């Protein structure tokens, strides 16, 4: 994103994670000058001096600089794209601690292709499974113009030989996004934008998921929808999905399903009382209730946080909080603190952090 301030790099691909009640981490990709960064904070995170930030890798962003991160049983894993020599590369990095130091990371090219949408910078396309492996969605072929592929790695995930992959959908997904998560049972749940009718498709696999025959799917919505999707697994394996639209000025869509989710009739859809921004973040609190956040604007934009404590299928059951002048309306990520309140990161021209109760806003990285 170019906000007209040339000495501010353009940040994207941001994910915010929590290690303990007071420990927070983020990984973000910077495409203007080409680098991948980690930031971590332990307590008093409203003070920029409490954040340890370091460069993980130098990348060439090309069209974008998409990245997706997740916590694992051993630390942090990130999947990100690089564009060396005009060929898209999917790279994976892992870190077990002291992650602001580049020497703490193991990095490797694992596949040819790209992650998420051609013009997007944040796809929730990487997840850790209960056995300690990693699961990934990416667009195959040298320039990421072919179908959606699924890949899994059980260990040594920075080595391409450790990954098994297969084509999940052979359509053309150059401009479309996707997301996946793994349930405690090991079932993989994914949503893909750009299926039949330019809609949103849900897919699931219980085991041996590098075989296409073990996946099942159903279309959840149609009509230029499904942008920046997220999917989460809640109590009793209930599913929660948020997504936006390819047209601006349209509200965030929220869908839930408690069982039989390969039947679209078992899904409930709600329209949230906020329009979708460039990116939408979804997470669940300890009670299994959803929090949603999005951000607008190119400079000192508005960030909206939505929360529901019951009957979330009704628009009126959601409460909305707005924070002015937070970030630049590009990508957004949330984590919950020990009190169940959200901590936010918004990227764009810098990475900006906010917390309750006073929603202190500070620039973490410029």
Q: Which domains does the chain have, with CATH numbers?
A: 11-365 (2.130.10.10)
Residue 214's SS3 state is: helix
Residue 70 CB neighbours (<10 A): 21
pTM: 0.92
Cα–Cα distance measured from residue 321 to residue 339, given in angstroms and rounded to the nearest whole number: 17
The mean pLDDT values, 10 residues at a time, for the chain of 366 residues are 33 78 82 83 86 88 73 93 84 94 96 81 91 94 80 97 94 82 97 81 96 96 90 96 88 96 97 92 93 82 89 90 78 87 84 72 60
One DSSP character per residue, 95-126 reads: ESS-TTSGGGEEEEEEEESB-S-SS-SB-B-E
pLDDT of residue 102: 95
Degrees (nearest 5) of the Cα angle 168, 171, 175? 105
DSSP, residue by residue, 241-290? EEEEESSTT-EEEEEEESS-TTSGGGEEEEEEEEE--S-EEEEE-TTS-E
Please provide the DSSP assignment of 27-63 as one string: EEEETTTTEEEEEEEES-TTSGGGEEEEEEEE---TT
Place of tokens 């292709």: 113
Residue 41: count other Cβ atoms within 10 Å of its Cβ.
22
Which pLDDT belongs to residue 5? 26
The confidence score (pLDDT) of residue 218 equals 95
Rounded distance, CA 95 to CA 100, Å?
10
Contact partners, residue 88, CB within 8 Å, separation at least 6:
62, 81, 82, 112, 113, 114, 142, 143, 144
Pair of tokens at residue 284: 């669940």
User: Taking a C-beta distance cutoff of 8 angstroms, is the pair 78, 93 a contact?
Assistant: yes
Q: Which of 153, 314, 320, 292 is nearest to 228 (CA)?
A: 292
pLDDT for 187 equals: 97
């Amino acid at each position: 994103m170019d906000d007209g301030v040339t000495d501010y790099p353009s940040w994207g691909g941001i994910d915010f994670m929590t290690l303990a009640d007071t420990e927070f981490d983020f990984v973000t990709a910077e495409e203007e000058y080409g680098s991948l960064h980690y930031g971590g904070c332990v307590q008093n995170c409203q003070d920029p001096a409490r954040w340890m930030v370091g460069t993980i890798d130098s990348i060439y962003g090309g069209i974008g600089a998409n990245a997706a991160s997740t916590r694992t049983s051993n630390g942090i894993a990130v999947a990100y794209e690089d564009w060396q020599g005009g060929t898209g590369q999917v790279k994976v990095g892992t870190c077990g601690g002291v992650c602001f130091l580049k020497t703490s990371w193991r990095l490797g090219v694992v596949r040819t292709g790209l992650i998420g949408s051609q013009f997007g910078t944040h796809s929730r396309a990487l997840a850790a499974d209960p056995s300690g492996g990693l699961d990934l969605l990416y667009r195959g072929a040298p320039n990421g113009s072919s179908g959606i592929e699924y890949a899994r790695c059980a260990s040594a995930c920075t080595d391409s030989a450790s990954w098994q992959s297969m084509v999940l959908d052979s359509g053309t997904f150059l401009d479309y996004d996707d997301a996946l998560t793994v349930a405690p049972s090991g079932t993989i749940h994914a949503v893909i934008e750009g299926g039949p009718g330019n809609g949103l498709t849900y897919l699931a696999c219980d085991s041996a998921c590098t075989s296409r025959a073990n996946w099942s799917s159903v279309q959840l919505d149609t009509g230029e929808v499904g942008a920046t999707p997220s999917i989460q697994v809640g109590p009793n394996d209930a599913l929660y999905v948020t997504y936006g639209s390819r047209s601006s000025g349209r509200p965030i869509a929220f869908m839930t399903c408690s069982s039989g989710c390969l039947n679209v009739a078992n899904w409930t859809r709600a329209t949230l009382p906020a329009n979708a921004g460039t990116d939408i973040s979804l997470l669940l609190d300890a009670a299994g209730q959803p929090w949603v956040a999005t951000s607008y604007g190119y400079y000192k934009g508005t960030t909206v946080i939505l929360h529901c404590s019951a009957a979330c299928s009704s628009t009126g059951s959601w409460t909305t909080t707005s924070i002015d002048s937070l970030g630049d309306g590009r990508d957004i990520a949330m984590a919950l603190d020990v009190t169940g309140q959200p901590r936010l990161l918004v990227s764009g021209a810098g990475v900006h952090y906010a917390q309750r109760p006073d929603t202190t806003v500070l620039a973490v990285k410029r």
